[in-house]
């Protein structure tokens, strides 16, 4: 089941990445020969118009075959207005960057779904859940209760509630609540949490769900925040301020299993973060990735003529081999971490 979830997540992220390339190709009038999800032998395929849509055996990546992007032999002549290599540099750059841009859009949409379906913890002192067998449950505190005062201290928000409980030294504290229209006072004896050493009573805040527009705004905000955080982490790795770490396919399957146990909302958040990482990784100036293609296009724009296709293809091939070696090394590290090797 964990492997299946990992395949589904990777498949969705790759599909949206290739969809970004596909939509930008269509927008600029390029002819798309094939839209493929996966690699290797074809399992299923269907042709609509001039494009074949295929599902391939190996669930690793996907690709788009566009007329004029690579040397074509033995094919019917394609009109210049439908060829990748005949489009303006800016159109080709939009096409190349389209996949990564779609990964960022997907991340924002996933975060928006979380805000709509699951909501976010409210800052108000409103009880969302009560942990069974903890002091709050034993005292009769219930979901929907609004905490007004703790030990005589007015409570305006959830932060006030946490500070009031953690800051008390009394064996029991008076918690004044509003349940509907009725005011009540409960006597609760906080428990010291062994992990954090803090005094807790076993409650969590209510979640607030948002409408589509607010959720989309918040989703975009979170996508930008995580993007900035990932850039910061990569920067610290490159400068040696923190160890360079990564996970390959096996490591990702393990992480999917661990995150899935914590709930669907966390699994969706994990997928959104991986989508951001996929988009950023493809924009790196490494041969065979979209980032290097953008550099070649930028050089072409400055020179006024393209780089020799054979030389460019050789550079991309070398980069592809290096990426495969890197994946093998990371997979080996994953196996070592799991004590398989």
> Is residue 139 domain-shared with residue 103, that is, in the same domain?
no
Per-residue buried b or exposed e for 141-170, using 16+ beta carbons within 10 Å of the residue's own CB:
beeebbbbbbeeeebeebebbbebbeeeee
Task: For residue range 213-250, list pLDDT tens digits in order.
Answer: 999 999 999 999 999 988 887 777 677 776 656 665 66
> Is residue 222 domain-shared with residue 199, that is, in the same domain?
no
Per-residue buried b or exposed e for 289-309, using 16+ beta carbons within 10 Å of the residue's own CB:
bbbbbbebbeebeeeeeeeee
Has residue 53 been placed in a domain? no
> Which of 154, 184, 208 is the C-terminal boundary of a domain?
208
Instruction: Name the one residue in this structure whose structure tokens are 């505190």.
Output: 141
Residue 340 scores a pLDDT above 60: no
Helix and strand totals (H; E) in the chain: 9, 12
Q: Which two tokens stand for residue 5?
A: 């979830």
Q: Please state the length of the chain.
A: 341
Has residue 38 been placed in a domain? no
Average pLDDT over residues 132-140: 92
Has residue 194 been placed in a domain? yes
Has residue 35 been placed in a domain? no
Spatial CA neighbour of 314 closest among 288, 285, 286: 288
- What percent of the chain has pLDDT above 90? 45
Spatial CA neighbour of 57 closest among 77, 39, 70: 39
For residue 253, what pLDDT band results from cuts at 50, 70 and 90? low
Task: For residue range 149-193, list pLDDT tens digits in order.
Answer: 998 899 999 999 999 998 888 889 999 999 988 999 999 999 887
Residue 75 scores a pLDDT above 60: no
pLDDT at residue 73 in the model: 53
237 backbone φψ class: left, alpha, beta (φ>0; ψ -120 to 50): alpha
Instruction: Give the residue numbers spanning the domain of 191.
Output: 121-208
Has residue 43 been placed in a domain? no
Phi, psi of 108 (to 5 degrees): -60, -40
> Is residue 231 domain-shared with residue 327, that is, in the same domain?
yes
Residue 60 scores a pLDDT above 80: no
Most confident of 47-61, 244-258, 327-341: 47-61
> Is residue 130 domain-shared with residue 180, that is, in the same domain?
yes
> Is residue 226 domain-shared with residue 185, that is, in the same domain?
no
CA atoms within 13 A on the CB side of 133: 0
Collapsing DSSP states into helix, strand and coil, what is residue 150?
A: strand
> Is residue 183 domain-shared with residue 233, that is, in the same domain?
no
Task: For residue range 302-321, list pLDDT tens digits in order.
Answer: 988 888 777 877 887 887 77
Spatial CA neighbour of 104 closest among 278, 270, 229: 278
Q: Are 307 and 300 in contact (CB under 8 A)?
A: yes
> Is residue 331 domain-shared with residue 230, that is, in the same domain?
yes
Instruction: Name the one residue in this structure whose structure tokens are 């997928």.
Output: 271
* Cα 7 to chain centroid, rounded: 15
Question: How close are the terminal C-alpha atoms of the chain, in Å?
Answer: 24
């Amino acid at each position: 089941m964990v492997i299946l979830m990992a395949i589904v997540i990777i498949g969705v992220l790759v599909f949206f990445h290739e969809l970004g390339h596909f939509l930008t190709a269509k927008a600029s009038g390029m002819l798309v020969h094939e839209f493929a999800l996966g690699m290797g032998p074809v399992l299923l395929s269907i042709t609509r118009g001039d494009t074949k849509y295929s599902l391939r055996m190996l669930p690793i990546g996907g690709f788009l075959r566009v007329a004029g992007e690579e040397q074509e032999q033995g094919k019917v002549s394609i009109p210049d207005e439908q060829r990748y290599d005949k489009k303006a540099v800016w159109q080709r750059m939009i096409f190349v960057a389209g996949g990564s841009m779609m990964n960022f859009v997907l991340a924002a949409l996933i975060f928006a779904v979380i805000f709509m379906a699951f909501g976010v913890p409210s800052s108000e002192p409103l009880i969302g859940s009560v942990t069974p067998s903890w002091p709050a449950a034993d005292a009769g505190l219930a979901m929907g209760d609004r905490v007004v005062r703790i030990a005589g201290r007015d409570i305006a928000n959830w932060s006030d509630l946490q500070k009031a409980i953690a800051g008390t030294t009394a064996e029991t504290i008076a918690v004044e609540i509003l349940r509907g229209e009725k005011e009540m006072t409960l006597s609760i004896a906080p428990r010291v949490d062994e992990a954090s050493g803090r005094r807790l009573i076993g409650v969590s805040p209510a979640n607030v769900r948002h409408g589509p527009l607010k959720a989309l705004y918040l989703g975009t905000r979170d996508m930008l925040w995580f993007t900035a955080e990932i850039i910061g982490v990569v920067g610290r790795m490159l400068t040696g301020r923190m160890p360079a770490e990564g996970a390959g396919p096996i490591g990702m399957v393990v992480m999917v299993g661990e995150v899935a146990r914590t709930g669907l909302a966390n699994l969706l958040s994990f997928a959104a973060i991986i989508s951001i990482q996929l988009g950023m990784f493809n924009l790196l100036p490494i041969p065979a990735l979209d980032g290097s293609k953008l550099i070649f296009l930028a050089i072409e724009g400055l020179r006024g003529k393209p780089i020799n296709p054979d030389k460019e293809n050789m550079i991309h091939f070398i980069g592809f081999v290096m990426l495969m070696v890197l994946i093998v090394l990371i997979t080996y590290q994953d196996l070592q971490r799991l004590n398989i090797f």
